[in-house]
Structure 1
Amino acid sequence: MNRRDLLGLGAAAALAPVAARAQAPAWPTQPVRLVVPFAAGGPTDIPARLFADELSKILPQRVIVENRTGAGVIVGSDAVAKAPKDGQTLLYTTVAHSVLRPLFPRLPFDPVADFTPVSLIGVIPMVITVNKDFPARTLQELVDRIRAEPGKYDYASSGNGGALHLATELLLRRNNLRANHVPYRGTAAAMPDVLNGSVPIIIDVATTCLPFVQRGETRALAVMDEQRLPQLPDVPTTAEAGFPGLLAYTWHMVMAPSGTPAPVVDAAAAAFGKVAAEPGVRQRLGDLAMRVVDNNSPAYAATWLEAERTKWETIIQEAGIRVD
């Protein structure tokens, strides 16, 4: 190899790191706004702040949680949809995002076209529970009772069109059952009537229902997940109870405005995935009944989101659910 070839190789080697640096996304270049469309201190805000704190330790810029509440998740989502497409503003949202289009046809944004999924953080399963004195000790017994007396039984939810309502309609629709929906303004408002038995059935988020089940005030019949909850090791999954495919969650996902460059989206996904893999973070999320998802890629998040949209839009149409 002659001197000219050696010089050429040396120049190429010297330029390689420069080229790599030029291709690497400059993210973040300023503090990142992580918009949470829920109130501070709630079950969505707490994990978001955990991620913001941990991300701030490994990124060159801080991550700041900004609670933007109003009209459900619409106000906060709208702020992100209209934010610059640079990855500096991200949305930390839940399953509520997947039902925006069928429930709210006149939104100020398009929940599909205006967002790019970044990373699915984790899932918190729904748990089928009943009043402690309700005469059904298994999910099959509950289904049999509702089927034997259509329209006799009432079930509670945290509001019309919410995750609890949709999960119960999934159970009813998949098994050709009929029960009466009693919507409340939040789970806290519903629980007194569940506890006194006047509205004896509620499918609730695991995080919320665990204290009642563990104190013996309600009875858990099945977990709507593919895995049992560590906090309820004796409660079967819906598949184990004889109802495979009956799955429902509230999940947590990070999204960016549509049009955010793919390298920036990938960098953000990698950062969230790195935090989610930390044992301490997984433990703290597990304490909130969240099962962390190992695949943090944007592609996986997009596939998950589309499947959830399809499932819940079908249930909304079949049940004729409307939000006035």
Structure 2
Amino acid sequence: MTFHFRSRLASRLRCAAAFALALGAGGAAQAAGWPDKPVTLVVPYSAGGPTDVVARLLAVPMGRSLGQIVVVENTVGAGGTIAPARVARARADGHTILIHHMGMATAPALYRKLPYDPLKDFEYIGQVLDVPMTLLSRKDFPASTFPELLDYVKKNQDKVSLANAGTGAVSQLCGMLFMHQAGVKLTTVPYKGAGPAMNDLMGGQVDLLCDQTTQTVPVIQDGKRAKVFGVTTLKRQPTLPQIPTLDEQGFKGFDVKVWHGMYTPRGTPQEALAALNKALNAALQDATVKQRIAELSSELATPDKATPEGLRKHLEAEVARWDKVIKAAGVTAE
């Protein structure tokens, strides 16, 4: 009996030691008592869309750092404003966090009655990455080059449809700037997320879509499901060197880059914020994350940007920038 008891005890001790080692970098956070349950990472858009892709890529290495599972939840609706409202009202203990793109900066100008204040109702974890966009069409669209596209939409603007991922989505903002610079008004078709919009573009149900490279690079590289007319940054992208920018094709100054940040409710303890920021930065240094983000022609935030202060300052500047652009365009979400 004594032998069997000692054997079972030794086995249990080995299991406990293995579990402690598995927590790795999350040990410090666990020792301090946080997190004591899985962390929920809320995404404002549908599964399979660009922001969702980023969230799921970061969730695993962040979970390793925290010593808890990071569960991705898609809370879709109202142009990406339901998710921030949910997180703003969540218990401020660090177990509910938000990843959002520049929609956090554009919502105040788009919505007359926004149920949260991006600058007052959140704590900031840090910036995540910048994502270029690309302008695509269905594979059998009449135009094949950007000059041909401009000529066609100007002559047929009442017949051309422009998809977006919903009100307030960056695809809507990119499309809005495209129409403004081209001097046309196309038929806009909003979807509940970038994934459904892309599916309908490839299926030939809509004509045009401006979307993030996190979703479009595989489609472009395939070369059979859609046409690409250019990237929205001022410089060509390393993973798409053959694709010219809209700027170099005549749309001078056209520069749309989708930045992402992570947030948690106002009042979250500093202990939790510090652990979340550490986990975010660990994820940004993860080899798999770096390789995948590079493949998607995106750029991870530098250490000075991946901080609470870095995100706060950037958000403030972006709120002011887009307030002018949206008001000048006369666009509202209501």
Which category of TM-score, normalised to the shorter sequence, fits these structures? 0.7 to 0.9
CA spacing shift, 1:279–1:241, aligned 2, 3 Å: farther
Which runs of no fewer than 5 residues in structure 2 stay unpaired? 1-30
Aligned partners of 1:151 and 1:179 also within 8 Å: yes
Q: C-alpha separation between the residues in 1 aligned to 2:289 and 2:321? A: 30
1:320 aligns with 2:326: no
SS where residue 44 of structure 1 aligns? helix
Alpha-carbon deviation of 1:142?
Answer: 4.1
Whole-angstrom CA distance in 1 between matches of 2:200 and 2:55: 31
Identity of aligned residues (%): 28
Q: CA separation of 1:105/1:58 partners in 2, compared to 1, >3 Å: closer, same or farther?
A: same
Match of 1:122 among 119, 129, 153: 129
CA contact (8 A) 1:39 1:67 kept: no
Q: 1:250-296 deviations in whole A, cap 9, x for unaligned?
A: 43321122233556534422321122012221112334443212231
Q: 1:241 to 1:274 in 2, by over 3 A?
A: farther
Q: Helix, strand or coil: the match of 2:90? A: coil
Residues of 1 paired with 2:203 and 2:92: CA distance?
A: 50
Q: Does 2:189 match 1:183?
A: yes
Q: For residue 55 of structure 2, what is the amino acid of its counterpart?
A: A
> Residue 114 of structure 1: CA displacement?
0.4
Which residue type is aligned with residue 246 of structure 1? F
Letter paired with 1:306? E
Aligned AA (1:284): R
Counterpart of 2:314? 304
Counterpart contact for 1:170–1:315, Cα < 8 Å = no
Q: Deviations over 1:86-109 (max 9, x none)?
A: 433321222332232233332332
CA distance in 2, matches of 1:66, 1:189: 19
Moved more, 265-274 or 129-138: 129-138
Q: Could you tell me which amino acid in structure 2 is paired with residue 273 of structure 1?
A: N
Normalised to the residue count of structure 1, the TM-score between the two structures is 0.75
Shift in Å, 1:166: 1.0
**Within 1, Cα distance between the matches of 2:207 and 2:332?**
24
Q: Helix, strand or coil for the counterpart of 2:118?
A: coil
Separation in 1 of the partners of 2:98 and 2:202?
35
Aligned to 2:290: 282
- TM value normalised by structure 2: 0.73
Partner in structure 2 of residue 201 of structure 1: 208
The aligned counterpart of 1:164 is 171
Superposition CA RMSD, Å: 3.3
Alpha-carbon distance between aligned partners in 2 of 1:211 and 1:51, rounded to the nearest angstrom = 19
Alpha-carbon distance between aligned partners in 2 of 1:315 and 1:141, rounded to the nearest angstrom: 27
More divergent stretch after superposition (94-103 vs 41-50)? 41-50
> Structure 1 CA distance, aligned partners of 2:273 and 2:215?
32
Output aligned runs, 1:127-146, within 5 Å: 127-132=134-139, 133-135=141-143, 137-138=145-146, 142-143=149-150
